Amino acid sequence: MFDDSWLDDRQGWRGAEPVLRRLAEAGARLRRETEDALDPIRGLGDLPRPRAVIAAGSEARFIRAILEPVCPVPFVAWPAHGLPGWVGALDLVVVMASDAAPASLIASVHEAVRRGAQLVIAAPRPSLIAEHAMSSSTVLLPTATADPLAAAIVMLSALHEMQLGPEVRPDLVADAMDLVAEDCSPYADVSLNPAKDIALGLADAQPLVWGGSVLAARASRRVAEALRAATGRPALAADADALSPVLELTAPRDPFADPFEDGGGADRRPGLLVLEDGNGAELIRAARTRLTSAAERNDVRVCVIEHAHGSDVERYATLLQTGMFAAVYLAVGLGRYADLEN
């Protein structure tokens, strides 16, 4: 069972301190990666415009979500081994990788070099994948913090320099991350901490996570992954058409049910977590109304993470980081970090 007293008790969340510290340091990591990549990024403005852009590696789909609406050339996020057959010397391949890059991604980098494609790679300088990437057509954006999101934001800055994407202000994104870390600090009381509040809302629930815009939907999938990993519970991120039937078929709550007997396992009720990034499109508003109305009719609790100002990347980072903090606090309340203290 969920013990909410652990959320404001140092003894309760002490085992989670390394994870909470890494979340809190996200802004600092982004600043470091941005600083290290300044010089190679400055040289990208003189490169010719590519025929197409192919993104591979971690956060490739996040890059696609930002670039697709504005990129002046075709853009592909390529998750498979190797590269599309048409990729050649006229194309740009962008890769985000760690020093533990899988063999399939190393093979993709090797293939880009073999075909003579322009390659921009964010990776640690002393790494196997960086060694395979070296060529006269390669630009390395050195990374050092093993933070995929920071590397992706640095890559977005590089693509903007090449006039292929929107302007990204990593300093403002880092400031937004710092604000989340302050608001969601373990030292912030549960009554003022949005992440702890969400953990309370999902304490006995099977989470259903929804984001209406492309970026909010991407964040919802990442948050659902974090909830599954942190709690061991199923957590589903999907569009409104997939989540609506689950909410509609949920029986109203029994006020006489004993939570100690009826609140666990397969009988756990859903809880809806909405990620709201301020996208006011009519279809998105209608989908949110449909979901929340179905939840209200069937007494399903609705939790909201909302951030409606700043750039697309700032809003995405805020939604994502808040959801990540919430996943940790949910695990804390469930006692999943208790064994780490001993």
Query: Given this model, what pLDDT does residue 81 score?
Result: 80
Inform me whether the pLDDT recorded for 21 exceeds 70.
Answer: yes
Say whether 236 sits in a helix, a strand or coil.
strand
- What is the residue whose two structure tokens read 């999938």? 221
pLDDT tens for residues 28-61?
999 999 999 999 999 998 899 999 999 998 899 9
φ, ψ (nearest 5 deg) of residue 123:
-160, 160
Query: Given this model, what pLDDT does residue 100 score?
Result: 84
Query: Given this model, what pLDDT does residue 11 score?
Result: 84
Query: Given this model, what pLDDT does residue 342 score?
Result: 47
Query: Given this model, what pLDDT does residue 341 score?
Result: 52
Say whether 229 sits in a helix, a strand or coil.
helix
Q: Which residues on adjacent β-strands are paired with residue 209?
A: 237, 273
How far apart, in whole angstroms, are the C-alpha atoms of residue 321 and residue 180?
7
C-alpha 224 chain-centroid distance: 10
Question: What are the structural domain ranges in the chain?
Answer: 4-24+173-341, 48-161
Sheet holding 92-96, edge to edge: 75-77, 53-57, 92-96, 118-123, 138-142
Query: Given this model, what pLDDT does residue 58 score?
Result: 85
- What is the residue whose two structure tokens read 């951030």? 307
pLDDT tens for residues 140-193?
999 999 999 999 999 999 999 999 999 999 999 999 999 999 999 999 999 899
pLDDT tens for residues 63-112?
999 998 899 999 999 877 889 999 999 999 999 998 888 999 999 999 99
Residue 129 in tokens:
């994948």
- The CA–CA distances, whole Å, from 192 to 142, 175, 183, 277, 281 equal 38, 20, 8, 20, 30
Fold matches, 4-24+173-341 and 48-161: yes
How far apart, in whole angstroms, are the C-alpha atoms of residue 340 and residue 337?
5
- What is the residue whose two structure tokens read 């302007």? 167
CA dihedral 178, 179, 185, 189 (to 10 degrees): 170
How far apart, in whole angstroms, are the C-alpha atoms of residue 250 and residue 241?
15
CATH 3.40.50.10490 fits 48-161, yes or no: yes
pLDDT tens for residues 225-244?
999 998 899 999 999 999 99
Query: Given this model, what pLDDT does residue 156 score?
Result: 97
Letter string b/e over residues 224-258, b meaning 16 or more CB atoms within 10 A of that residue's CB: bbbbbebbebebbbbebeebbebbeebeeeeeeee
Query: Thinking of the domain 4-24+173-341, which architecture would CATH place it in?
Result: 3-Layer(aba) Sandwich (3.40)
